[in-house]
Amino acid sequence: MRPYNINIFIMNIFSIFTDPFMDRRRVAVFGVIAVLVWVSTVMLLLQESRAGHRRVILIVIDGLRSDAIDKNHWMQLPAFSYLIHQGASTLNARSDVHDTKALPNNVSIITGRPVYDTDSAHRYVLNSYTGQAIHDIRNKYIHSFFDVLYSNNYRNAFFASKHWMGLFIKSYTAPRPPGSIFNRKKNPSRFQSFVVTEKDDAKTFEAFMIELTNFDARCIFLHFSGVEAAGRASGWDVSSPESPYMKAVAQVDGYLGEILETVQKRRHLRGNVFLIVTSSHGGSPNPDAFQVPANFTVPFLVWGPGVARGTDLYALNPDRRRDPEEFLVPYNRDQQPIRNAEAGNLALHLLDLSPIPSSIINGLQSLRVSASGDL
């Protein structure tokens, strides 16, 4: 609507009130409604036209097997298929070397550290939340990518669908060295928005979408637990789209499709959003057995502006990462496989931010997702 049309519209509204033959009380009601509609329209146009900036959505899907989203399932999973064909990806990434439990791997993703093995390991080995912070295990502060976002004054949001993910709220809402006295001014929250539900992917996703469409978080962490819950309850059957496990995967595919549709429809999001999608672990009848390939093999998908399309991540990083084939590769090998724990530092790299302090998994931000090497 051009400016002079808006002015004429306003003049016509006010002219109604000066017409002596009109029922002013009735017209006043319709006039107020018309003004409210006009104001709402202008506000919507302003929201859609505001300048966009880079954003990253880091999505962790607990229990997602790589073979659940391979080419045999693309017809049933259009969003996963789109991300693979329009982005850079691998279905042969790795979880932690010695741990395929969900919570320890989520800690690795957020901190860029192994569970065990090195002096930099976070060593949070519990698959539950006991009220302790991550830092209490090592008796020292364990930095996360939330800290880097906060130090750069970036809005940060966190949405998870399992109660033990509250570990991160405990650890980074008021982060401080273990034993120190809490000071609200010195220890502000790393999150400007967070929701943690108990195994409710739908409610978690609803809260996430409010954040995505109405606020300006530069990085949003989104966690789904339904796929793992279906696998543990009914088995990890990837052979039939009607299995409870594959139905849970299809539900997450629907959520991803809604995210992609929203990003492409909203002007301030279009061309500005990166998606990183990975899993804490795969799944098998014994999902916590770290030596089982179905457990330690996970997907790693990246999509967004400048990301290579339909390209294998190992092909983009021939001198930096090595395809592990079917093997479980220890951390002391020179060339590492791509790991789910690379996601935190990759998210920061896509936002042109420095890596997580003291992190060693993609600590040099060397994983590339574009053919030109710009990303």
Nearest to 238 by CA among 68, 62, 78, 69: 68
Phi, psi of 92 (to 5 degrees): -125, 45
pLDDT digits (tens, 9 = 90+) for 136-191: 999 999 999 999 999 999 999 999 999 999 999 989 985 444 444 444 455 566 88
For 28, the token pair is: 């006043």
Rounded Cα–Cα distance for residues 175 and 142 (Å): 9
For 184, the token pair is: 């609200």
Q: How far is CA 349 from the centre of its chain?
A: 15
Q: Which parts of the chain fold into alpha helices (H)?
A: 3-16, 24-49, 78-86, 102-111, 134-138, 145-151, 166-172, 201-214, 226-234, 244-265, 293-296, 313-316, 343-350
Q: Is 157 helix (H, G, I), strand (E, B) or coil?
A: strand
pLDDT digits (tens, 9 = 90+) for 71-119: 999 999 999 999 999 999 999 999 999 999 999 999 999 999 999 877 8
Rounded Cα–Cα distance for residues 97 and 183 (Å): 37
In this model, does residue 301 exceed pLDDT 60?
yes
- Note the pLDDT of residue 374: 81
Alpha-carbon Rg of the chain, whole angstroms?
Answer: 24
Task: Grade residue 373 by pLDDT with cuts at 50, 70 and 90.
Answer: confident
| 245, 73 Cβ separation under 8 angstroms | no
CATH superfamily of 54-350: Alkaline Phosphatase, subunit A (3.40.720.10)
Mean model confidence pLDDT for the chain: 87
pTM, full prediction: 0.84
Rounded Cα–Cα distance for residues 108 and 113 (Å): 5
Rounded Cα–Cα distance for residues 115 and 281 (Å): 13
For 156, the token pair is: 């940060």
